Structure 1
Amino acid sequence: MSGEVTLTGTLTCTCEEEAVQVRASLPEHIALTRAEAGCISFDVLSTDDPMVWSVSERFVDAAAFEEHQARTAGSDWAARTKGIARAYKIEGM
């Protein structure tokens, strides 16, 4: 039996066009992720820098986290934010 998996870090845009893509697709991405059975919490919050978002995710276990990753891989969010820098730390895997 595996324990909780957490992901923390940042999503950093390099230009306003990338930031527009994040802002446009983020509400649906958050809603779909929070609706996943294994999601404990999921927050992507703007920071003082309009090009940087703080990311914090918690899933009940590795299987739930992996299901989330698989779902998002083919999502509108993934397509619209492809190439945007992510610096994440994953614990519990």
Structure 2
Amino acid sequence: MSQPKAMNLRFPDPAQRAAIEAAAKQEGVSLQEYILSAAYARATAVEERFLEAFRESMSRSGDVFAAEAGAVDPRGEQRAAELEARRELEEQQERGHAA
């Protein structure tokens, strides 16, 4: 089994590399560990922001559907009238097939 290779860290700006090395040294970790933990922290922050926005969106959608439920859900009288009309239509169709 081969040994894992080290991360190839190339920085076009020497000042950037020096700043990151200093930050890693201050944290007491290797340069690789510092960069990976920073990348992980950024990714989880992005994920958390996405999930937060998704929860807000779901909440707004739920509020809208709840507000519109009265318009979509017919009252009992309307429902009874629709069922009666359907029964009458089915009876007419049955009589038409019998003839």
The TM-score, its normalising length taken from structure 1, stands at 0.23
Q: Which structure dedicates a bigger proportion of its chain to strand?
A: 1
The TM-score, its normalising length taken from structure 2, stands at 0.22
Q: Which has the higher contact order (CA 8 A, sep 6+)?
A: 1
Q: Which structure dedicates a bigger proportion of its chain to helix?
A: 2
